[in-house]
Amino acid sequence: MKRILQLVALVSFTSSAATAQDLAYKIPEKAFSVVSIKSNQLFQLCPANEFNNSTLGKKFLEKLSETANENYKSIEELGLNLSANAYYYYQVTDSINHHGLIIPLTDASKINALFRKHADSIQHINGISVLQRPDQKTVIAWNNQMLYLTYGSLNSYFFSDSAHAAKYGSIGTVYDDYSYNDVAVDTVAAATVEEEVLADSVVVEAPVVEAPVVVEAPVVEAPVEALPPALPEDSTAVVFDYGADEGVPAEDLQAREERKRNRDSLTISWLTLSTQEIFNKSSSAPSILNNPGYLRSADNNAIASFWMADIQSVYSTFFPYKYFMKYGGNFLRGYGNVNARLYMDKEKIRMTGEMGLNAEKAASFAKIYDHKLNKKFFKYIKGDSLIGFMSYAFNTEAYMYEMPKLMGGAYSYRYEEEMALVSDLITVMLDEKAIAKVIKGDALFLLTNLRERQVTYQSYEYNEETFEYKDTVKTKTETLPDFLIMFSSDDPQLIERLLQYGIRKGKIVLGNGIYSIEQSRKNPFNLHLLIKDGIVFISSSLQDITQIQDGSFKGNVDKQHKELLTQNNFTMFFSPKSLGAKIPVRELGEAGDKITKLLGGAGNVYITSAAGKDGYISMDMTADVPKEKENALKYFLDLVEDMAHLK
C-alpha cells in the first residue's frame, strides 16, 4: 500500500476537462473505484513554477530525485502532460486485486531518463517500454501516449481451492510462510506457471464468486507481440539468510522462499496481462464510460473526483465469498455507489459527496430525513463569538419505525425469517409516537467559549516508611469548553422523572428551576439543565442557563448560519479563528504562538448533509479561503508550509 500511495502522489500533479485525447476509456468497465485529477485546473490556480518553489513541491521533487538518482528542479522536466486528465483505478477479481495509474505524457524520452538506472531491465515491445519489478509486485510501462503503473496482490482464498492449487503449484499464502505449513501440491516451475497464467486472469463483480470467470479477449487493432515474461533471465534472485530463523529446518525455509517466488511470479504475470490489455484497448471497447454511476460523478468544474462501485462491494472485498455469504452477506445491501468531487476557486475549498440508495432504502431515509430543526433554537445562538456548532434533525418516529427494516436486511440471506420476527417484535414493543414526543429528533450543540477551571483528579502519595500508597484528591487548572445543548421535547415528563430520581439519590441539585450536577472526578464540568418552551437545555455555564430561564439571553444568529441550520438535516460549523483567539497560548506548548497564528489565519469550515435527489444522500464540506489569500490551492499550499514549520 505504501508503494501505491507514492504512485498516487504522482497523479496529483498530472491531469483537465475531457478532451479528444482523454484516457478514461482505458479504465476497465468493471473497475471497483476510480479517481480522476484535472491538472489544467490545478496549474491555473498555481502555476508550475510556483508549485516547484512550495514546500510540498520541493519535497516531491527531492524525493523523486533521490529515487531516480537525478536532479529534478521542476515537474515540467518529467514529460507529463500537465493539461490532461490522469486516472487511478482499483480492480477486484477473484484471484488478484490490483491498482492502476494512467498518466498522459508529452515527452516519453523524459520517462526513459526517469528510469535510466533500470535500463537493462526495460524491454521494448511494439513501441511499449516495460519494466517489471517482481520484488515490488509492480509493472511500469509507457509509450509516447501514456505512462501506466500497476501494483497488485493475490487473493489467498483463491488458491485454497484444490483445483487452483493443483493448477498453479506451490503458491501458498503469506500466512503459510509464518506457520511453516507447505501446500500439499507439486511445485510447478515458473515457466509452466507463465504459460497457464496468461489465460486465467479473472475479473468479476462483487460479491466475488469462487469459480474463476474468464475475461473477454481485449480489443486489439493490430497484432501485438507478446510482452516479456514475469521473471527475466537476468533478474536477481532474492537471497535469504537461513540462519535468521533459528530452529526452523532449512528445507522449510527453502520451501517458504520457493512459495514466495512463485507468488511474485504469478502476480507479475497477471499484472503483465493487465498492462497488455490497457495498452491494446481502443476507445470503442467497453470501459468505465459505460457506467452511469461513474458518469454521474464526473464534473468538468471539479479539480478531482472519486467514484466507487457500491458499499456492499467494500464489505465483500475483505472476506472470501463463502464467509461473506455465510456471515451476513447482505449487511450493506441497498447502499449503492459512492462519489465525491473536489472544487477549488478564489473563495473556498469545497468537497461534495453522494451515496446511492436502492428504492427501499431511499423510501426509508426519505421518511427519516423528513424533519426540520426547531427554529426556537436560533434565539439562543451568539453567532459573533461561536467556536463551532453541530446540529441534526431527523424524524424520531420514522427512525424507530424504519430502523428494524433497515437492519433486517443485514442478515436476511441466512436468517430471513428470524430477522423478520425480530423486526415485528421491536415494532410491537416500542411505542414510536410516545418516544418521538419525548425526543423529537432535532438537537443543536453550541461550543461557545473556553475557560480555565479548577478541576479535581485522583492521585496517589507514596509513604516511604510504610511502603504504602495513599489515595488522594488533588486540584489543577485546566482549560475546558463552555457549551450549550438544546433538543426538542413535546412531553418531558420522563426526563423530569429521571431528574427527580437523581435529586433523591443526592446526585442532582434543584435551585430556581434549574437542575445542576456538580463537578466530580469523573465529570470535569458543572452541568446545568433547564426545561422551557418545549426545549431541554443543558449547559456548562450557569450564567447562560440563568439568562435563558429569565428571558434575558441575547442571541444574534447570522443569516448564513440560519440558512445552513434550516436547509440541512445535519450541519457542523467550526471557526479556527475563534478557537485561536480563546485558547491560552500556554496550553499549546512551545509552538503556541505559531499555532495561534495558524488558527487565526484559517477560514471557517462547514459540513452539511441532507436527503439528496434521485435516491442519493448528499454531503457537502466547505472551507472558506481567507480574503488575503489569492485562491484555494495557494491557501492549501500555504497551510502545508505553515504546518511544516510547527515542528
Question: In the prediction, which pLDDT does 287 show?
Answer: 95
Q: Where are the alpha helices (DSSP H) in 82-186?
A: 108-114, 156-159, 162-168, 176-179
Neighbour tally for 361: CB within 10 Å: 21
Select the more confidently predicted residue: 231 or 106: 106
Specify the amino acid at residue 504: R
Instruction: Look at 151-160, 166-175, 194-203 and tell me which has the smallest mean pLDDT.
Output: 194-203
pLDDT tier, 594 (very low <50, low <70, confident <90, very high otherwise): confident
pLDDT tier, 217 (very low <50, low <70, confident <90, very high otherwise): very low
pLDDT at 5 over 60: no
For residue 343, give the 3-state DSSP assignment.
Answer: strand
Select the more confidently predicted residue: 83 or 515: 515
pLDDT at 357 over 60: yes
Could you read off the pLDDT of 264-321 as tens digits, one per residue?
A: 889 999 999 899 999 999 999 999 999 999 999 989 899 999 999 887 766 666 555 5
Question: In the prediction, which pLDDT does 476 show?
Answer: 81
Whole-number Å distance between alpha carbons of 140 and 275? 8
Q: Is 428 exposed, middle or buried (0-12, 13-18, 19+ CB in 10 A)?
A: exposed
Nearest 5°: the CA angle 240, 242, 248 is 130
Cell numbers standing for residue 281:
484497448
Mean local confidence (pLDDT), 636-644: 83
Whole-number Å distance between alpha carbons of 7 and 103? 11
Question: In the prediction, which pLDDT does 214 show?
Answer: 34
Mean local confidence (pLDDT), 106-115: 90
Question: In the prediction, which pLDDT does 134 show?
Answer: 87
Question: In the prediction, which pLDDT does 316 show?
Answer: 62
CA 4, distance to chain mean position in Å, is 15
pLDDT at 615 over 90: no
Highest-scoring range by mean pLDDT, 12-21, 118-127, 266-275, 517-526: 266-275
Evaluate whether 201 touches 95 at the Cβ level (below 8 Å): yes
pLDDT tier, 55 (very low <50, low <70, confident <90, very high otherwise): confident
pLDDT tier, 474 (very low <50, low <70, confident <90, very high otherwise): confident
pLDDT tier, 329 (very low <50, low <70, confident <90, very high otherwise): low
pLDDT tier, 163 (very low <50, low <70, confident <90, very high otherwise): confident
C-alpha closest to that of 556 among 381, 374, 386: 381
pLDDT at 59 over 50: yes
Mean local confidence (pLDDT), 73-99: 91
CA 526, distance to chain mean position in Å, is 37
pLDDT at 542 over 50: yes
207 upstream amide cis, omega within 30 of 0: yes
Select the more confidently predicted residue: 113 or 393: 393
Q: Is 395 exposed, middle or buried (0-12, 13-18, 19+ CB in 10 A)?
A: buried
Could you read off the pLDDT of 483-492 as tens digits, one per residue?
A: 999 999 999 9
- The whole-chain average pLDDT of the chain stands at 80
Cell numbers standing for residue 95:
484471484
Q: Tell me the CA distances in angstroms from 643 to 63, 112, 553, one per residue in order.
A: 19, 36, 39
pLDDT tier, 245 (very low <50, low <70, confident <90, very high otherwise): low
- For the chain, percent of residues with pLDDT exceeding 70: 78
C-alpha closest to that of 449 among 480, 485, 487, 486: 480
Question: In the prediction, which pLDDT does 493 show?
Answer: 92
Q: What does pTM read for this prediction?
A: 0.78
Mean local confidence (pLDDT), 191-196: 36
pLDDT at 228 over 50: no
Highest-scoring range by mean pLDDT, 122-136, 368-382, 410-424: 368-382
DSSP state letter for 595? H
Instruction: Look at 222-231, 462-471, 574-583 and tell me which has the smallest mean pLDDT.
Output: 222-231
Question: In the prediction, which pLDDT does 234 show?
Answer: 42
Highest-scoring range by mean pLDDT, 179-183, 399-403, 570-574, 634-638: 570-574
Mean local confidence (pLDDT), 61-77: 87
